[in-house]
A and B are shown apart, each in its own frame.
Chain A
Amino acid sequence: MTTKTDKIDRLAELTAARAEPEHGLGLWREAFRRLKRNPMAVSGAVIVLLFLVIAILAPWLAPYDPEARTWDHEVFQNQNIFVGPRAENWLGLDNAGRDELSRIIVGARQSLLVGVVATGLGFAVGALLGGLAGAAVGLGGRVGQRVDAVIMRVVDMLLAMPSLLLAVSVAAILGPSLLTVMVAVGVTQVPIFARLLRGSMLAQSHSDYVLAANALGVKRRRIVLGHIVPNSLGPVLVQGTLSLATAIIEAAALSYLGLGNPDTSYPEWGSMLADAQRFLSGAPQLAIYPAIVIIITALGFTLLGEAMRESLDPKLRK
């Protein structure tokens, strides 16, 4: 008798355990579950996490001080004498006799920081502008149309300029500093986020559930904030991940052009690339190393972003 009730209890437990993960799964959690099964997403996430860990633990991971010219008596850049990989310096020495590996590792900090802050900035301002425009249209009326038109024309002007040119102008106007780099790169991201959020809000505002909410007398403000915005954020968040990759590349491009952080006490991938340019014939590896890490980081964010896009797109759901 006891065994039978035990069995029933066990069965109930099992079915409950099986039913539980299905229960209360929202769009986001379900998307996350699909994400975990996607090899593209997993490899992207691994790369991103790896670089994050490296950036955070850089001072402890770097074998030497990235600025110490410990081996400057072995490198003679004027005579094209460089030191390649060897046991004590895994990636060799740079043109000033500093350990290249340590510089790459510590350089991850600034590159990722600039990428994240710049994208965050672009996201915040862009989403605000796009959200305002989208909400203005959603709330309707002639005033709404005007507000939308004004905001979007400004955004269009930003969008019309090539992003690197825009970043260079902003950096040139503000004068070189770390903050400048972040602002300059962030500004180039603003129009993308603004357009994207507005567009997806407009698309959502024609959907059936908005009509249904209208038919039940829900207030316009509530429809915009409670229904349209949450449904429109998906693509914008995905764009955020993709933009991180671009931001890192653009930050590197700015420092390559000499508009980066003038404080050279910290290495940075872009400026390392710029420095290496002078020795491209004698020591091409000095340009290749930072280029490779830039590419891998950008790839990691892109993979993650693409996978997120797929998992959030209801049409691609299995």
Chain B
Amino acid sequence: MSLLTVDELTVTFTQRGKPDVRAVDGVSFTVDQGEVVGLVGESGCGKSVTSLALMRLLSGRNVKIGGSVVFDGIELLKLRSEEMRDLRGSQLAMIFQDPLSSLNPVVPIGVQVTEILTRHRKLRGEAARKEAAVLLEKVGIPDPTRRLREYPHQMSGGMRQRALIAMAVACAPRLLIADEPTTALDVTIQAQILELLKELVDSQGTALLMITHDLGVVAGLCDDINVLYAGKVVEAAARRPLFAAPTHPYSVGLLNSIPRLDAPRGEPLKPIRGSVNDNIAWADGCAFAPRCDHYTIECLQGPPALTEALTGHRYRCVNPVTTHEPPAVIATEDGR
């Protein structure tokens, strides 16, 4: 059985006097024990809202969440909020995009790390401080005892993200959700952070849900990939089939829009035309149709169904891409 099963998750934002906004529209996917799953899509496609919803961090009267999220046999959406709070940090943890604003600026790093240890592992005083130093060491922060006394603004961006990762893995959670963990960092640090995440996931057997818009990150890290568009999963496949034979025109467009080193000099980039604003409602047809090169009149005959092609390779398209140019070569870090 899967560790996390998300089934038909919908998130709707309501506002008086305005039409409802359905940010996540029936998203389903699973994450197995120790597996790395990617959630990919451009800005505004519902990636972050999905992750916040399944952590139960979307609160307020104007948010409606439907569907089901089962973690280790427990239905998270029906849990009492205090029970959910006990699970967060100990069983499920999350890393955010901006490491500077995710740390409290007036509290030393050490206090913020020991706080988690006290909360979930009942460690106090010297024991908590020692464990915090061990954690910082583990995520590759040199001179951890000194760093524990420092404030977030005294650390570099990469160091802060490492500290946040240390806090997230402090209680060896079974699922780690990383919401664009490398977006705010520069490229060399990005690689280091991804390497660190991979190591931690391998050594602790933690499952990782990687949320990103960066296909390079996905290529190097993820076992399974879900491509999101306008709140729906439009293509889901294992890494190799997705990169070798993307089926949904949107996935194809994403892959083609990556600048290629082997392209002839001066060749223009190939963006996906239009923007998310051109979308039509899913009820009327394929939301991507106005931007799609394979668009036909059938695309407007109601919402396209999810088709399962090969084992596990699913796509939501009536005119799937079948003939392929040689697929974009993205070097995977381990060469697989």
Contacts and interface: CB of A to CB of B under 8 A. Distances in A.
B105 A217 contact: no
State the main secondary structure of chain A at its contact with B. Answer: helix
Q: How large is the interface on A (under 10, 10 to 19, 20 to 34, 35 or more residues)?
A: 20 to 34
Interface centre among A207, A211, A216 (most CB of B within 10 A): A216
A6 interface: no
B89 A217 contact: yes
B115 A207 contact: no
Interface string A295-318: 000000000000000000010000
B177 to A, nearest CB: 8
A211 B57 contact: yes
A16 interface: no
B102 interface: yes
A111 to B, nearest CB: 34
B104 interface: yes
A134 to B, nearest CB: 16
Contacts of B131: none
B88 interface: yes
B116 interface: yes
A149 to B, nearest CB: 16
A209 B101 contact: yes
Given A22-B154, A215-B88, A231 B93 contact: no
Contacts of A219: 85, 119
Contacts of B85: 214, 217, 219-220
Q: How large is the interface on B (under 10, 10 to 19, 20 to 34, 35 or more residues)?
A: 20 to 34
A207 B59 CA distance: 14
B106 interface: yes
Contacts of B107: 226-227, 230
Contacts of A280: none
Interface in B109-159: 111, 115-116, 119-120, 146, 149-151, 154
Contacts of A162: none
Interface in A161-215: 207-209, 211-215
A218 B96 contact: no
B20 to A, nearest CB: 22
Contacts of B168: 216
A209 B57 contact: no
A216 B149 contact: no
B101 A218 contact: no
A216 B167 contact: yes
Interface in B48-105: 55, 57, 59, 85-90, 93-94, 96, 98, 101-105
Contacts of A227: 104, 107
B206 to A, nearest CB: 15
Contacts of B105: 27, 209, 231, 314
B119 A222 contact: yes
Given A25-B154, A26-B106, A27-B151, A216 B116 contact: yes
A220 B85 CA distance: 9
Interface string B16-60: 000000000000000000000000000000000000000101010
Nearest to A26: B151
Interface in B162-203: 164, 167-168
A211 B87 CA distance: 15
A231 B98 CA distance: 18
A133 to B, nearest CB: 19
Nearest to A220: B85
B55 A215 contact: yes
A120 B148 CA distance: 35
Given A26-B106, A226-B115, A231-B106, A140 B59 contact: yes
Contacts of A208: 96, 98, 101-102
Contacts of A216: 88-89, 93-94, 116, 119, 167-168
Nearest to A209: B104
Interface in A208-263: 208-209, 211-220, 222, 226-227, 230-231
Contact of B57 (A27, A28, A214): A214
A219 B83 CA distance: 11
Contact of B93 (A24, A215, A314): A215
A215 B89 contact: yes
Given A26-B151, A216-B168, A209 B116 contact: no
Given A22-B154, A25-B151, A25-B154, A217 B102 contact: no
Ranked 6 nearest A-B pairs via Cβ: A217-B89, A217-B88, A216-B89, A208-B101, A215-B94, A212-B102
Given A23-B150, A209-B103, 16 more contacts: A23-B146, A26-B106, A27-B106, A208-B96, A208-B101, A209-B105, A213-B115, A215-B93, A215-B94, A216-B167, A217-B87, A217-B88, A219-B85, A222-B115, A230-B104, A230-B106
8 contacts: A26-B108, A28-B106, A207-B101, A208-B96, A209-B102, A209-B104, A220-B85, A226-B115
